[in-house]
Chains A and B, each alone.
Chain A
Amino acid sequence: KQEVTQIPAALSVPEGENLVLNCSFTDSAIYNLQWFRQDPGKGLTSLLLIQSSQREQTSGRLNASLDKSSGRSTLYIAASQPGDSATYLCAVSGGNDMRFGAGTRLTVKP
């Protein structure tokens, strides 16, 4: 059974810092990996989707990488802003459903 782990569980950084969030998964037979953002009490907003054949995806200040062989993905956030404060979740698709990590709660201090 696929297991997804996100480390750290919480992270606090000063505004302007570049940061990396980590996601690891146990079964490399995935179809894609998706990064989401969740604000308190809200649903999940899709940030980036990486297909299994891709190594990375970029959107604005966000860059996500995927290394299937090692079962790892990273989400890089450049020049962090207080508005980036949220919980970030990764999810892997292995077929009929998606498996989620517990998320990293990010706080960016002004």
Chain B
Amino acid sequence: DGGITQSPKYLFRKEGQNVTLSCEQNLNHDAMYWYRQDPGQGLRLIYYSQIVNDFQKGDIAEGYSVSREKKESFPLTVTSAQKNPTAFYLCASRISGGRSGSPLHFGNGTRLTVT
């Protein structure tokens, strides 16, 4: 079955450590996205990529980094520079970005706790 896989489901880290969240899709989608969700708030865009080897900052990119070396994979690194990293992180994809009417599909998320 096609879908988006995020791993791990839960992640615990000490303050000051970098951590990488995995996102893999087998939907053959060009565009991939990382969102952050905090309690009582809507999803906020961290980074997005419309094609391999290209990505753009979203609204809250500070303290995060990404890579898009393969179409299927879009890992997110939460660096020690991110001031408040504890949150639920969601990866999404769609057939194409830009002026596209295609629907967005989501993975099941990774809950990151930093102490």
Chain A contributes a number of interface residues (CB within 8 A of B) equal to 27
Interface centre among A45, A52, A101, A102 (most CB of B within 10 A): A102
Q: Is the CB of B42 within 8 A of A101?
A: yes
**B99 cross-chain contacts in A, Cβ below 8 A:** 31, 95
Interface centre among B40, B41, B42, B98 (most CB of A within 10 A): B42
Docked complex Cα distance between A98 and B97 (Å): 10
Interface centre among A9, A31, A93, A97 (most CB of B within 10 A): A97
Q: Is the CB of B42 within 8 A of A43?
A: no
**B40 cross-chain contacts in A, Cβ below 8 A:** 9, 102
**B41 cross-chain contacts in A, Cβ below 8 A:** 102
Q: Is the CB of B111 within 8 A of A103?
A: no
Q: Is the CB of B104 within 8 A of A46?
A: yes
Taking a contact as CB atoms closer than 8 A, the residue among B98, B104, B109 that contacts A91 in the complex is B104
Closest 4 CB pairs of A and B: A100-B42, A43-B106, A100-B43, A43-B108
Residues of A within 8 A of B (CB): 4, 9, 31-32, 34, 36, 41-46, 49, 51-52, 89, 91, 93, 95-103
